[in-house]
Amino acid sequence: MKEVEELIPSIREGIDRLQLPQGFLLRSFPSGRLLETLRNLERRLGEGSSAPLRVAFFGPTGVGKSKVFNSLAGGTPSPSGYRRPFTMQSVYLLHESRKGLAGSLPGDVKIHAGESWRSLVLTDTPDFDSVETRNRAEADRVFREAEAFIFLTDVQKYADHSTWEYLERIFQERKPAIIVLNKVSGDGPVSDFGSRLETRFGDAARRSSRIVLAEHPIGDDEPIPASDPGLARLREALEDLEGTPESRSRLLDERFRSDLDGFFEEWTVAETALESYAAGLEELAERLAARVRSAAEDLRVELRTGIDPGLKAEVYSRVVEKLQKLDLLRYPRKLLALPLEGIKTIVRMWFPRSEARNGGSELDPARSETFQLLEARLFRVYEETREDGRRQARSPEALTDDDLHALRIGHDELSELYRTREASFATWLAKEARETASTLTGENKIKFILSQVIYNSVIVGVQIHTAGAFTLAELLTDSVLSPMVAKAVGIAVSSQKVAEFEKMAQAEHHRLLVEILEEFRGRVARHLAERGAWKEDFERLRAAIQGLRERRDDLIAAFRGRTGPDGS
């Protein structure tokens, strides 16, 4: 039994620990109601089935709840007045034989020594339609705490929407209620109010006690005259409600079971909403990942697309012009005798690094077709992701326009990321060329090194800055260079080596560009993961509640067998 009783505080702690993100999910999750129900279950479990019944005086503003409360109590335990709202906290009237419960009552506790209501705790409650938010919250708390009600309205307020809204809640939860119509000076309101009750609530309304209190020309501090027949009937109705220990025990047992089942029902609704929200987050992440994969493939295809023949001719002319200045045949033995860096030094005398290599104007990504293709793809991914965030009904507000604006990669940041990847590609290219050359021997090795030096010095910037349209095969074979120049540089050392190198270069170039798309995806994925950081705690909480559901009958048995410190 101790194990099953400990489930309730552990679940309460689990709900407190569930840190939901700000926004829709936090607003829609009924943590307050769930916690209040658990506190009542825990309280009832501690007091047991022999505890006194808690009876709340409930009603809208200004209908005389406190005056009726004081008139029954025979004093002024709950101050009343013309100011609205007047009652700002709950006032509990507790018999001295039950004063051990005083510390557990969250309000102003008044002790009485009368002969009546030894097994009732009467509560004067703030107005449920108060202009004060805290008063409405307190009324809602007492509504959940109470086992029964004295529901008051008057001839001015009985037709108000808020009155019927709370009566609806009382009858839905099947809590016993004594319905009081106050300040009555004629038969018309009584008949109309009774007719409305029976029309709306049928047999449930007919089973409830209905009491009429007359209008009395008295001051705020004066009690209702003891001779009022309605007041006498109200006293009798309270005594009937108090009943016998057996009837109170049955009612408390019913409320315990009802609250327990109500908690499970409310949790099921909340659990479904959390599951749906989590699934929505996963869907957003999956759709973004698929969109980035699609954009990467589109980019691969676009980078392989041929470019304007005029531009190709311009590059061809530039390459031929530079190659013609280098008479390799004059220095074959000298070149063969030089190490790799020496060869590069000589060749760079004729093929100096372009402005693009030194951060000049040619490096401006805005002038690069590759950059423009990348930026267009990234923008499309961004816009489609924004639409997903707007339309995702299962997880609204998980990815807002403001969120995406903070996560986006702007033009200037994209330029910097692009420059970084381009520099990485150039470094990779030189390293791969050296490694490929190391597999060759003799003159073929020198020729391959020379071809890559020329490629790095003259061609790389042109290829990358023109959307990668010139492949290595085009630039390093007869499709661009004349047979004579190709032979002079020694490109035709191995068609297999050239093809392998081209394939690796294209793949690496594409991979580095896709890294930028992945950077945006990663930012959004981390944001969505933060929005779903509560899921592990949720799973633990769900398991605990499922354990409580499976031990429901054991918990009810523990309640029935418990006698509180003030049990009779």
Strands 148-154 and 177-184: parallel
Distance of CA 116 to the CA centre of its chain: 52
Q: Which helix (H) or strand (E) holds 37?
A: helix 31-47
Query: Can you count the helices (H) and strands (E) in the chain?
Result: 24, 7
Residue-wise pLDDT for 130-176, tens only, equals 888 888 889 999 999 999 999 999 998 888 998 999 999 999 988 99
| Rounded Cα distance, 29 and 24, in Å | 9
Which two structure tokens, joined as six digits, stand for 394? Answer: 């299962």
Q: Looking at residue 345, what is its pLDDT?
A: 46
User: Residue 213: enclosing H or E segment and its boundaries?
Assistant: strand 209-214
User: Can you tell me which residue has the tokens 């006032």?
Assistant: 91
Placement of tokens 């004063």 in the chain: 99
Q: Which of 182-196, 424-438, 522-536 has the highest mean pLDDT?
A: 522-536
Q: Give pLDDT tens digits for 424-468.
A: 887 787 677 666 656 655 545 545 554 554 444 434 443 433 334
Top-confidence range, 169-173, 302-306, 363-367? 169-173
Q: Is the peptide bond before 309 cis (omega within 30 degrees of 0)?
A: no
Confidence of residue 25 (pLDDT cuts 50, 70, 90): confident
Report the candidate in 548, 555, 553, 498 with the shortest Cα–Cα distance to residue 267.
Answer: 548
DSSP 114-159: -SS-TTEEEEE---TT-SSHHHHHHHHHHHHH-SEEEEEEETTTTT
| For the ranges 79-93, 207-221, 279-293, 442-456, the one whose mean pLDDT is highest | 279-293
For the stretch 59-115, pLDDT in tens is 998 898 888 998 888 766 555 433 344 456 899 999 999 988 998 898 889 898 888
DSSP secondary structure code for residue 79 in this structure: -
- Tell me, what DSSP letter sits at residue 168? H
| Predicted structure pTM score | 0.72
CA distance 308 to 469: 9
**Confidence at residue 123, expressed as pLDDT on a 0 to 100 scale:** 94
In this predicted model, what pLDDT tens digit does every residue of 467-518 receive, in sequence order? 343 444 444 433 333 333 333 344 433 445 655 666 777 788 889 999 999 9
DSSP-based three-state secondary structure for 422: helix
Residue range 288-298: mean pLDDT, rounded: 96
Separation of alpha carbons 541 and 470, rounded Å: 59
Q: Is there a contact between 440 and 446 (Cβ–Cβ < 8 Å)?
A: no
Domains of the chain from N-terminus onward: 1-50+260-281+535-568 (no CATH), 52-243 (3.40.50.300), 304-533 (no CATH)
